[in-house]
A = this chain, B = another copy of it.
Amino acid sequence: MPKQKMKVASRVAARKFRAKTVGLPPGALIHVGEQKIERPVISFFDYDPGKLESRQDVSIEECLAMKSSSTISWINLDGIHDIPLLEKFGQNFDLHPLALEDILNTQHRPKLEEFEDYSLIILKMLEFNEETEQISAEQISLVLTPHYVLSFQERPGDVFDGLRDRLRRSNGRIRQRGTDYLVYGLIDSIVDSYFQILEKLGDRLALLEEQLIVAPNQDCQHKIHHFKRELLNLRKLVWPLREVISQLYSGEAQLVEETTAVYLRDLYDHVIQVLDTVELYRDTVSGLLDLYLSSISYRMNEVMQVLTIMASLFIPLTFIAGIYGMNFENMPELKQSWGYPAVWGIMIACVIGMLTYFKRKKWF
């Protein structure tokens, strides 16, 4: 039970941020959300088809050179709570104050925002906690320019390791292509990770269904409630992504080339598939609730039948026994030698009558 509580609490926290910004000018930089890392870390990849340079934990000044070079650069920042650092990013890479505000506000919906010479893409990286069975979200902001990509993460650890490996291999397609393909690769990694989460959720739902059929109990009900909420949340996080990707490939983002658009269309199909599956799971969960409720009803019925059969059989018998337990002086039956067996006979007849009745009613 405290588990449930904690989850709600954390979601509430998610709404807390805006309260702080009331009365502040738009574009004022405040980090909303919890600080998830001690010290922000900058790393970069700088490559063209022929060569690759990759470094961890560099200073912002070391990145500036790449801004104007003809190679493709991917500069990543883990930890966005350090506002002065972010402002420096803003000044050095000419980011609009509203863009910086969006990057800092980790409660944003996924969206694509076109600025004069760059695009800002906001995404959610999801993680499924095996123990609490909760999905937690981390916000990833991507800035796409002709020669470099900036990515901002809340904390270290992401789903881009496969992509990094492909960058390091010199023969991959990714090294031949521009920043738009790099951004596609980043989003693709994130969408692929959604499938993993759906798979885990599906396993849990299967377990829950099995338990519901074998032995429904109150814990099932809490779990149904829990998954319902997680799926609501998941849909809210993934749904806007559909539009983001469709805007990317339909030419709204001027930096995406036609050769990359075909990949984005494929990615769009994957997102649709994710959303389909979320809807399917939502229907499944609501089916599980029906199953739970009807199981409870059915079981109640069974319980009541047992009670009714027991009571209906024995209450009349007890009454008969009670009759001849009375102490009236004038009870002629008591004196007869056939009295006791006769009473037994009546009782057995009663029982047979009742059982026939219940049998006909199909109660057992």
Contact = CB atoms under 8 A, between A and B. Distances in A.
Interface of A: 1, 4-5, 8-9, 11-12, 15-19, 21-27, 96, 98, 101-102, 107-109, 111, 159, 161-163, 165-166, 172-174, 184-185, 188-189, 192-193, 195-196, 198-199, 202-203, 205-206, 209-210, 213-215, 218, 221-222, 225, 228-229, 232-233, 236, 262-263, 266, 269, 272-273, 276-277, 280, 283-284, 287, 289-308, 310-312, 314-319, 321-331, 333-337, 339-340, 343, 361-363
B24 A280 contact: no
A294 to B, nearest CB: 5
Contacts of A300: 297, 300-301, 304
A165 B22 CA distance: 12
B199 A16 contact: yes
Contacts of A5: 206, 209-210, 213
A276 to B, nearest CB: 6
30 contacts: A5-B210, A15-B195, A15-B198, A15-B277, A19-B196, A22-B192, A23-B159, A23-B162, A23-B189, A23-B192, A25-B174, A26-B184, A102-B266, A109-B269, A221-B295, A222-B291, A229-B287, A232-B280, A236-B276, A289-B294, A293-B294, A300-B304, A304-B304, A306-B308, A307-B307, A311-B315, A319-B321, A321-B322, A326-B327, A326-B340
Given A294-B296, A325-B325, 14 more contacts: A15-B199, A15-B202, A15-B277, A18-B199, A19-B195, A24-B162, A108-B269, A225-B290, A232-B284, A233-B280, A303-B305, A321-B322, A326-B334, A326-B343
Contacts of A295: 218, 221
B8 A206 contact: yes
Question: Nearest 5 A-B pairs (CB), nearest first?
Answer: A23-B162, A18-B195, A321-B322, A8-B206, A324-B326
Nearest to A16: B199
Contacts of A287: 225, 228-229
Contacts of A9: 206
A21 B297 contact: no
A159 B22 contact: yes
Contacts of A206: 5, 8-9, 11-12
A297 to B, nearest CB: 5
Given A162-B22, A221-B294, A12 B203 contact: yes
